[in-house]
Amino acid sequence: MEIIVAENAGFCYGVKRAINLASHSVYRANRTFTLGPIIHNPQVVKKLTEAGIKTIDDLDQIDRGTIIFRSHGVSPKIYQKAKEKGLEIIDATCPNVSKVQKIALHLKKKGYTIIIIGEKEHPEVTSILELVANNVFCLNSSKEVSKLFLNTDKLGVVAQTTQTLENFKKIVYRLISHFKELRVFNTICKSALSMQKSSLQLAKKVGVMIVIGGYNSANTRRLTDICKKVNHQTYHIEEPCQLKSDWIKDQRIIGVTAGASTPSWIIEDVVKKLKSIDNENR
């Protein structure tokens, strides 16, 4: 049995940066916390917790120490609250997310109503919604465009950085047919696009496709959906122990990819487990 790992799989630049910032904070005198999981990967969050970096859900849970703002970004209100509490701030917001925030603010100042193409409940989108505050809407499907009743024809469009290009194009196309003036910024991360492309290409060639990443990871779920469109035997797992013997029985080629929040050591462990299962099946 041959195992092929996608060319672009695992940690992206923004995630690496966030993890490095968190890892170095361990040596600070203050106790360190992250506001929400720093990335959407349970194993990485567990390792950071074991190193002394605790995850909290609200700034009211602490009165002092160092707070790390996760890779998805936070709203200005949260940033200001941390300052007022006298917390030391480490901003691990992905530079690509910061770029989307700046573009959205620029469009708002120019009088555009903002459309964010993405998942409304995702922390990255939430940070942009709260930043812009007024005249901002989130769309995750082209079907939602017809439900938009706006007193403007001027729309500024940005995307959640881990969106698929296909969904982005569909929604923009529908918006063009409903509104007169659009300023569209393709803010999908190049790393995310490369990951999607290499995963899709691999899924077409293999018998079974394994996608590794947190179940709460938006980009990993998208990779799974993309692969399933061309390979029905696509499975999303968080860790090696979830692999099942039946999935790979009698298969010649297995494909493996991973979301942007998945470290290389988990990918390696999954490959080892696949080899072990293959040996047992013989």
* 8-21 per-position pLDDT tens digit: 999 999 999 999 99
- At 90-126, the pLDDT tens digits run 999 999 999 999 999 999 999 999 999 999 999 999 9
CA–CA dist 137, 193 (Å, integer): 24
Nearest residue to 26 (alpha-carbon basis) of 81, 57, 56, 68: 68
Which pLDDT belongs to residue 29? 61
CA–CA dist 277, 36 (Å, integer): 36
pTM over 0.85: yes
CA–CA dist 216, 40 (Å, integer): 6
Which pLDDT belongs to residue 126? 94
Torsion of CA 21, 26, 30, 36, to 10 degrees: 60
Catalytic, 124? Answer yes
Q: Which residues of the chain have pLDDT under 50?
A: none
Which pLDDT belongs to residue 21? 93
Question: Domains (ranges, CATH) in the chain?
Answer: 2-10+191-281 (3.40.1010.20), 13-94 (3.40.50.11270), 96-184 (3.40.1010.20)
Catalytic residue chosen out of the listed positions 2, 7, 124, 268: 124
C-beta separation of 238 from 269 below 8 A: no
Which pLDDT belongs to residue 148? 87
Which pLDDT belongs to residue 82? 96
- The alpha carbon of residue 161 and the mean position of all alpha carbons in its chain are separated, in whole angstroms, by 7
